Amino acid sequence: MLTIGTLSKKTGTKVQTIRYYEQIGLMPEPGRTEGGQRRYDNAQLDRLSFIRHSRQLGFSLDAIRELLDLSDHPNRPCDEADAIARRQLKQVEQRMDRLKALRTELKRMVHECSGGRTGDCKVLEVLRDHSECLTEHEEIGA
Partner DNA sequence: CTTGAACCTCTAGCAGCTAGAGGATGTATC
Partner DNA sequence: GATACATCCTCTAGCTGCTAGAGGTTCAAG
- Residues forming the site for DNA (CB under 7 A): 3-6, 8, 14-17, 19-20, 33-38, 55, 60-62, 140-141
Q: Which does 45 bind (CB under 5 to 8 A by kind): a second copy, DNA, none?
A: none
Q: Is residue 45 a contact point for a second copy (CB under 8 A)? A: no
Q: Is residue 19 a contact point for a second copy (CB under 8 A)? A: no
Chain centre distance of CA 128: 32
Question: CA–CA separation, 14 vs 122, rounded Å?
Answer: 43
| Number of residues that this document lists for the chain | 142
Helix (H) or strand (E) holding 90: helix 79-112
* Pairing, β 38-39 against β 31-32: antiparallel
Tell me the CA distances in angstroms from 78 to 72, 73, 74, 81, 111, one per residue in order: 12, 10, 9, 5, 49
Question: CA–CA separation, 119 vs 134, rounded Å?
Answer: 22
Q: How far is the CB of 134 from DNA (least distance, A)?
A: 23
Contact with a second copy (CB under 8 A): which of 24, 29, 34, 140? Answer: 140
Q: How far is the CB of 30 from a second copy (least distance, A)?
A: 20
Residues 67-86 that bind a second copy (CB under 8 A): 67, 70-71, 73-82, 84-86
Q: Which does 60 bind (CB under 5 to 8 A by kind): DNA, a second copy, none?
A: DNA
Whether the CB-CB separation of 121 and 111 falls below 8 Å is answered with no
Cβ-based nearer residue to a second copy, 29 or 75: 75
Whether the CB-CB separation of 1 and 39 falls below 8 Å is answered with yes
Binding site for a second copy (CB under 8 A): 46, 49-50, 53-58, 67, 70-71, 73-82, 84-86, 88-89, 92-93, 95-96, 99-100, 102-103, 105-107, 109-110, 113, 115-121, 123-124, 127-128, 130, 137-140, 142
